[in-house]
Amino acid sequence: MAATDIVRASTRVAMVWPQVAIVQRDLADLRAAPSGDSELVDQAQYGENVRVLGESDRWRYVQGADHYFGWVTLDDLAVLTAYAERFVVAVLLADVRDAPRGDASVIARLPTGTSVPAIVATMEPADGTRQRVPYAHPEGWRETHLGPGWLTGYVALSDLVDVRQLPHRYPTADDYLETAESFIGVPYLWGGTTALGLDCSGFVQQVYRLNGVALPRDADQQAMLGRMVEEARAGDLMFFGADSVTHVALATSATEFVHAPMKGGVVEHSRLGPDRKLRVIRRYLPDPAAT
């Protein structure tokens, strides 16, 4: 791997961790606006988890498991505010080594945002009872297991972050842009979703995912969620195509964007021009006036 690639892979990626809420009513209505008279856009069922992405008085803007967005009254939710220990990859690509040493062989590479499963040790005292005890990881490393065969590997703690240390708040357009900057220069790869290679929809999907928002995999599917707006603002998605949606980009302003352009290219900044037909602009976060 070239030195420039190593530096890029070790780039720390900005991300936020919005709160999760559990639906505590038999059916919770998701409304288009924070009002009981607003259009019903979806329903969440008792016990489902939703991501909390905004607020307006006693309403919360959420995304459910089916990816739909809407406003739910706070009375229908139990918002979780505490977090257990959980480590996720905080760099573009984290090396997994076969021993807890920086010069050990790399056996795998984990993309940013990947959870590194916790290892639980058990102890069986003389009385035959079994109990969990803290697992002793090597200093500066996190041990993990990779299948098949549960191969043991080690990830440097410097490449990880405990989710308890991440910002726990609503994501903003600035968060999207800061995350997107980490991927500038990543090569285009059809079907790619990591810093080893990205296509246009994989790029925006990862930027949103790292800030707590789930999007479908393909651009035409992404263009069905959120709400249509006439003029882009930073953080919106711009969709392009002659007869149908074939390309997506992350808006940085009304006329500029970041995208994974085409085969042979890299993730880059660009601006609107005659080379691509802008079909629609979609917004996935609540408008500032509603928060």
pLDDT digits (tens, 9 = 90+) for 8-47: 678 899 999 999 999 999 999 999 999 999 999 999 999 9
What residues contact residue 112 under an 8 Å CB cut-off, 6+ apart? 13, 15, 89, 90, 91, 92, 93, 94, 182, 194, 195, 206, 210
Tell me, yes or no, whether 100 and 67 share the same domain: no
What pLDDT shows up at residue 150?
78
Domain for residue 130, yes or no?
A: no
* Average pLDDT of the residues in 175-203: 96
Domain with 54 in it: what CATH number? Answer: 2.30.30.40
In contact, 94 and 110? CB cutoff 8 Å? yes
- The answer on 281 and 208 residing in a single domain is yes
What residue has token string 């220069």?
A: 185
Specify whether 50 is located in the same domain as 98: no
Instruction: Give the residue from 45, 63, 79 where a domain finishes.
Output: 79
The pTM (predicted TM-score) of the whole model is 0.89
**Residues 144, 216 within the same domain:** no
Is 105 in contact with 97 (CB distance < 8 Å)?
yes
Which strands make up the sheet holding 115-116, listed edge to edge?
115-116, 87-89, 160-162
Q: What is the pLDDT of residue 290?
A: 47
Sign of the four-CA dihedral 70, 74, 78, 80: positive
How far apart are alpha carbons 20 and 28 in whole angstroms?
15
pLDDT at 136: 77
Contact 169, 245 (CB under 8 A): no
Same domain, 159 and 228: no
Residue 110: which of 67, 84, 134, 142 has the closest Cα? Answer: 142
Q: In the predicted model, what is the mean pLDDT of the chain?
A: 90
Query: What residues act catalytically?
Result: 200, 247, 259
Position 255 pLDDT exceeds 50: yes
Which residue type does 186 have? V
Domain enclosing residue 96, as ranges = 3-15+85-123+139-164
Of residues 132 and 258, the one with the higher pLDDT is 258
What was the pLDDT predicted at 121? Answer: 58
Mean pLDDT of 233-249: 95
In 3D space, the residue among 242, 243, 251 whose CA is nearest the CA of residue 276 turns out to be 242
**How many independent structural domains does the chain possess?**
3
